[in-house]
Structure 1
Amino acid sequence: MTLLQTRPPGYLLCAHRTSTDLARFDELTRRGAAARLPNGAGLRVAALTAALRLWRGDACLDARSAGVAVEAAALDERRWRAMEDLAEAQLVLGEHNAVIDAMEPLVRQWSYRERAWEHLIEAHMRRGDIASALAAYDELCHILAAGLGVVPGWRIDRLVSVIRAGNRR
């Protein structure tokens, strides 16, 4: 039996015999999510790194259809969540520079992604660069206030409180 069969009135694609990058991405992100932190950090990093290697830029970048654009945005969101999940596991493993390298471009492109900002701030903090951590926090506060009229959420507030408390010693 072949992948594509001739069947009246046309052709039949045997989807169960195909493998797509998206199906592989989904499988790897599920595997990454199943690896609980902190003990599964290494497994999560391996699975999510493999999943993210399947991407070669934004989804359906040259598609012109509004329907495809909606689906492409949903696919991109899944990729960004995987990037944030990877950064969370990398923080557990002490890979602070890798987190900074991944989160910097993400917050520049999508400045309202608080989880990415949280990982960026924490990576700077854990690396011992308190000034950069607080500068990133100040930048986030400015972006959220100017663009949305809101302040960062409780997770980032708690993180910055820890940074400031440690700085007073």
Structure 2
Amino acid sequence: MLLVHADQVVPVSVLISELWEYEPPASALTTLQTYILNLRKMFVSATGLSAAEITKEVLVTRAGGYMIKSDSSVLDIREYNRLVSEGSSALGSGDDLTGTSRLTEALQLWRGPALVDVPLGRVLESKRRELEESWLTVTEYLVDAKLRLGMYREVLTELAALTTENPLHEGLQAQYMRALHLSGRRAQALEVFHRLRRNLIDELGLEPESQVQRTHQAILNSETNFDEDLLIARPIGGSLTASSWGRVRSY
């Protein structure tokens, strides 16, 4: 909790709520203070700094809460955000090679699902979802950049896994269709569309988005140059946003 909000004061009330949700014990404040003390001892053992230095420079007490002071270079999330920002700026300026390199480096910092080994309260669950959505958005932009660079076969294995894990995600399914078609596997690309359509109708009662249907039609026509609005729009500035189409829909 403190690390994912590094350099920000986390109020005592938020920490207690995250630990015990709606039913904190009468001893919650005392127990929290004990946790903070033990955490400081762990920092002493890990860093070799004195307890006084840890209290002053690392895990500090502020009015109403606690804060971990960090060097931005030691947190993966900071490095991840920096690389994503650089990659986004490169893609926005039309430099797909640099953008692909930076986004690939960013995703390589991941070692599995976000916060997978941490008990989650409401705040951390929200943060987990935010991180997972960021990972998926970065992945979409990276795949699109690779497709623009002609790296069709290179993305097939990744897209096969992503579309299996996200069977109703129309953006990923459309990317998989394009990659298969441009790799000379048109029949499989059409199978992906029909499977997606069945899943959407069976589970949501919906037809595929118009962009997916137009991608399907372009493949039927053996087209290799797809209209710009069938691709993810290039980012503006140093941030990536979820594509305007292709997300999982629901009633």
Q: What TM-score bracket applies, with the shorter chain setting the length?
A: 0.7 to 0.9
Distance 2:183 2:72 in 1: 47
Q: Report SS of the residue matched to 2:147.
A: helix
The answer for the alignment partner of 1:93 in structure 2 is: 149
Distance (whole Å) between structure 1 residues aligned to residue 71 and residue 92 of structure 2: 33
Please list every run of 5 or more consecutive structure 1 residues that lacks an aligned counterpart in the other structure: none
In the aligned structure 2, how far is the partner of 1:15 from the partner of 1:92?
Answer: 38
* Pick aligned residue for 1:159 from 190, 215, 237: 215
**Structure 2 residue 161 is the aligned partner of structure 1 residue 105:** yes
Q: Matched residues in 2 for 1:48 and 1:86: separation? A: 6
CA distance in 1, matches of 2:165, 2:121: 21
Higher relative contact order (CA 8 A, sep 6+): 2
Task: Indicate the structure (1 or 2) with the bigger Cα radius of gyration.
Answer: 2
How many angstroms does 1:38 deviate by? 8.7
TM-score by length of 1: 0.86
* 2:100 corresponds to which of 34, 45, 56: 45
1:21-100 equivalent positions in 2, closer than 5 A: 21-36=76-91, 39-67=94-122, 68-100=124-156
**How big is the alpha-carbon RMSD for the aligned residues of Structure 1 and Structure 2?**
2.1
SS of the residue 1:11 aligns to = strand
Q: CA deviation at 1:85?
A: 0.7
Q: Residues 17, 94 of structure 1: CA spacing in aligned structure 2 closer, same or farther, 3 A cutoff?
A: closer
Of stretches 15-24 and 50-59 in structure 1, the one that deviates more from structure 2 is 15-24
TM-score by length of 2: 0.60
Which runs of structure 1 show a deviation greater than 4 angstroms over 4 or more consecutive aligned residues? none
Show the counterpart of 2:60: 11
Does the Cα contact within 8 Å between 1:37 and 1:89 map onto a contact in 2? no
Q: Which has the higher helix share?
A: 1
C-alpha contact 2:152 2:183 (8 A) present in aligned 1: yes
Rounded to whole Å, the distance in 2 between the matches of 1:19 and 1:113 is 34
Residue 182 of structure 2: aligned partner: 126
Q: Report the secondary structure of 2:125's partner residue.
A: helix
* 5+ residue gaps, structure 2: 1-48, 62-67, 224-251
